[in-house]
Each structure stands twice: as C-alpha cells, then as structure tokens.
Amino acid sequence: MIHFTCDLCGKTLVAHQELRYVVKIDVYSALNPVEMYDEELDKDPLEDVSDLLPSSEEAHEGPQAEEGDFQTFRYDLCPACHAEFIKNPLGRPVPRKFGISGN
Ligand SMILES: [Zn+2]
C-alpha cells in the first residue's frame, strides 16, 4: 500500500483511498526566452532555441535547478490543505474582512 504525506499538515494519505492533490510550481526568470519563439528572436534563433530547450516538461529525472534560474517544486496536499492553498497560493497576508465597509 502506497502512502503519501501531506506536505503542509503532515497527514498520511493512502493512495487509492483518499483524495490527494499534487501542486507543481515552476519558477524561472522572465528573461528566459521561453515565450519568444516566434518573435524578437533577431540573433541566431536556431542556435539559441536548441540550447534553451533542454528537455520536455515531463522529464522527471531529478532536480532541474541547474538549468539557469529554473526550479520546480512539487508537493502533495490533502484535501483540506488543498482548499486552503488555492485560496492563497503565494501565502500572502490575507486582508481580513469583517464586513466594515468604511463608508
Ligand atoms: Zn494537509
């Protein structure tokens, strides 16, 4: 039986018995020309692109942190933590609303 552990609360999740959510976060520099294939490539486009496309997204061969600024994070979440996560994925301070309109 395969067990997973929620990366937020530590709850044990049994595969195939309990719902589990996977969070994947890709972080990379906005200067990385990943979104510039068709335009703004005014210098040696073929050479650059072939160098900067090291692998497909599904290559799960260990950490990818060595490719420049590119980092991938992966977490398992239980349903309760997933519900909280999607409300505030970046963990920002949540402004409290007590129904005071200020008018
Ligand atoms: Zn949890």
CA dihedral 44, 47, 48, 49 (to 10 degrees): 120
Report how far ligand 1's centroid is from the alpha carbon of 42 (Å): 48
Ligand 1 centre and the CA of 2: distance in Å? Answer: 17
Write down the pLDDT at residue 8: 95
Q: Which range is least confidently modeled, 27-36, 58-67, 76-85?
A: 58-67
Lowest mean pLDDT among 6-15, 33-42, 53-62, 86-95: 53-62
Q: So what's the pLDDT on residue 47? A: 60
Nearest to 12 by CA among 76, 70, 61: 76
Give the pLDDT of residue 101: 59
Residues 6+ apart with CB under 8 A from 41: 33, 48, 49
What pLDDT, on the 0 to 100 scale, is given for residue 42? Answer: 62
Distance (Å) from CA 44 to ligand 1 centroid = 48
Whether 65 has a pLDDT exceeding 50, the answer reads no
Q: How many helices (H) and strands (E) does the chain have?
A: 2, 4
| Structure confidence by residue, pLDDT tens digits, 5-36 | 999 999 999 988 889 999 999 998 887 565 55
Record the tokens describing residue 12, joined without a space.
């044990």
Distance 64 CA to ligand 1 centre (A): 26
Residue 68: what pLDDT?
74
**19 CA distance to ligand 1 centroid (A)?**
11
Beta-carbon neighbours within 5 Å of ion ligand 1: 6, 8-9, 11, 78, 81
Structure tokens at 42: 């005014």
